[in-house]
Structure 1
Amino acid sequence: MKRPIVGIISNTHLINDQYPTHAGGTMNIEAVSDVVGAMPLVIPADPRFVRINELMETFDGFLLTGGRPNVHPEEYGEAPTEAHGQFDRNRDAITLPLVRACVDRGQPVLGICRGFQEMNVALGGTLYPEIRDLPGRMNHRMPPEGSLEEKFELRHEVSLTLNGVFHRLLGATKVMTNTLHGQGIKTAGSRIVIDGEAPDGTPEALYIRDAPGFSLGVQWHPEWNAANDPVSRPLFKAFGDAVQCWSEGRRPSSLKSA
């Protein structure tokens, strides 16, 4: 049986500080292949090379990955500061209209970390440049030292809305997640529903109200240990069911709140 095709948004990198690349993390590729059950293809996130209509016709769903560069604050009406960090305007030019196109069409999209933030900005929301600088907030950033296992270890609870989309999907109102982000949602965009929060109130899970298809985002990194983690696996499996439906010409139902 032909597998559905999931487009994985890439990030730009320099190999040896010289050779430019568009790259996708192996953990994302494994999650798409092994848990989603789809063929993973990495998309160069640059409007010089791809067009939104071409992507929509080529892929059955999209995974918006994390990345070191942040969404440029001009995309949500603010001036850049040193606290906003690095940017990738080419990725902004692909992912933000891609989110809106997927939501309008009902084509499956799953946002992770930066992808979670892109979904919010695409629908008119804003971001804090540095969560740890806010009163009462914890440091959500990746530990600077240690092994991958230590950097991706489960570090805090996420409380999910009772009978909400993520509660029904994951079968619990509290789940443990990793945390590797500096920025976070400030104001939710139009139709963005915050469906889960960290203990300090930082938004961690969202869905898009009245979206005709699968449109979910999480601030944590479920691609880590996706095949075995009790939170990651059902999330990617649900995404996989949606992209399978799309590939067969059946339009997956939206995940409405109760």
Structure 2
Amino acid sequence: MAYPVVLVSADVRHDEGHDWHCAASNYLNAALNGSRAMPLILPSLGPALDLDSVLDRVDGVLLTGSRSNVGPELYGGEPSEENGPYDPARDATTLPLAQRTLERGIPLLAICRGMQELNVALGGTLATEIQTLPGRGDHRAAVSDEQDVRYGLAHDIAVAPGSCLAVTLGLPAEGGSARVNSLHRQAVLDLAPDLMADAVAQDGTIEAAHPRDSAGWALATQWHPEYWVASDAASARIFTAFGDAMRDYRSRRENAGRTG
């Protein structure tokens, strides 16, 4: 059976006099090997893109993490040098992409920056540099040249009973916990009205969410399950569920095409 196609968001990086539209290999490999889906990178060309024409041809959308942060002006904040870097071309692409993906019921997995994009796209706000806020922990990556250390599982999260994440992880009816990594300076402040919190860290940081009334499977995580998908059971379950949702969506789309 042919793999479903998953659309992957792209950062814009400037190098050697050119703007490059790119995605980290961790996400591509996790989609390919964890979800058994074929990743296709969407350039961050903003309003120039005909998103519906692209979404007509894919079975899922993966919003990736990034070193850049969502532009604060998009949720009523003020940009600052401390909170940067920013990627306005990506913002102009991923926020409408997230909205349209949900409207069409296409499976969506949003990771780290992707979760923040989803929250802002649906009307929520973000807290910047959360390690400076009273009562918040330091969610930044460990200082190391070793990626396994930087992406190491760092703290536990409390998973809400019956939530999308709880079901995905196979947790009991009363919910449970999971251990996750942490590599972010920005996090959800006001959760968008159409999102429900699936998990929180000990300091109250929202670590996962899903749309209340999405027509398709959708999950957002503040941590990075893509890094440990080959060895961590919880990470693998997330990408397996995403792949299953994409195959189900593709089957329904193909059946509709045959009967339409």
Quote the residue 2:3 is aligned against: 3
Instruction: Give the counterpart letter for 1:228 in structure 2.
Output: S
* Kept in 2: contact 1:35–1:227 (CA 8 A): yes
Q: CA deviation at 1:126?
A: 0.1
Deviation at 1:49, TM superposition (A): 5.6
2:228 equivalent to 1:229: no
The letter of the residue matching 2:53 is: E
One of 176, 182, 185 as aligned partner of 2:185: 182
* 1:122 alignment counterpart: 121
Letter of the 2:232 counterpart: D
4+ residue segments displaced more than 6 Å:
none
> Aligned equivalents of 2:85 and 2:24: distance in 1?
19
Alignment equivalent of 1:249, drawn from 249, 252, 255? 252
Spell out the pairing of 1:135-150 with structure 2 (5 A cutoff): 135-150=134-149
Post-superposition CA distance 1:128-179 (Å, at most 9, x none): 1111011111111112323011001000001101222211221231000000
Distance 1:180 1:118 in 2: 16
Unaligned runs of 5+ in 1: 252-258
The 5 Å alignment of 1:1-258 reads 1-15=1-15, 18-47=17-46, 50-172=49-171, 173-249=176-252
How many Å separate the matches in 2 of 1:58 and 1:72?
29
**Unmatched 5+ residue regions in structure 2?**
255-260
Distance 1:24 1:216 in 2: 20
Deviation of 1:93 (Å): 1.1
Moved more, 18-27 or 176-185: 18-27
The answer on whether the counterparts of 2:164 and 2:219 sit within 8 Å (CA) in structure 1 is: no
Amino acid at match of 1:91: R
Contact 1:4/1:60 (8 A) holds in 2: yes
- More displaced stretch, 73-82 vs 171-180: 73-82
Offset of residue 14 of structure 1: 3.0
Indicate if the aligned counterparts of 2:12 and 2:89 stay in contact, CA closer than 8 A: no
Q: Percent identity?
A: 38
**Aligned residue identity for 2:13:** H
The 2-side partners of 1:4 and 1:227 are apart by 20
For 1:47 and 1:103, the matched residues in 2 are separated by 18
What is the CA RMSD across the aligned residues, in angstroms? Answer: 1.6
Q: Is the 8 A contact 1:83 1:129 kept in 2?
A: no
Deviation at 1:208, TM superposition (A): 0.4
Post-superposition offset of 1:79: 2.4
Name the SS of the counterpart of 1:84 in structure 2. coil
Name the CA distance, whole Å, in 1 between partners of 2:47 and 2:195.
Answer: 30
Structure 1 position 78, deviation (Å): 2.2
Instruction: Normalising by structure 2, report the TM-score.
Output: 0.91
Output the TM-score relative to the length of structure 1.
Answer: 0.92
Distance 1:222 1:83 in 2: 27
1:250 to partner: Cα distance: 5.2
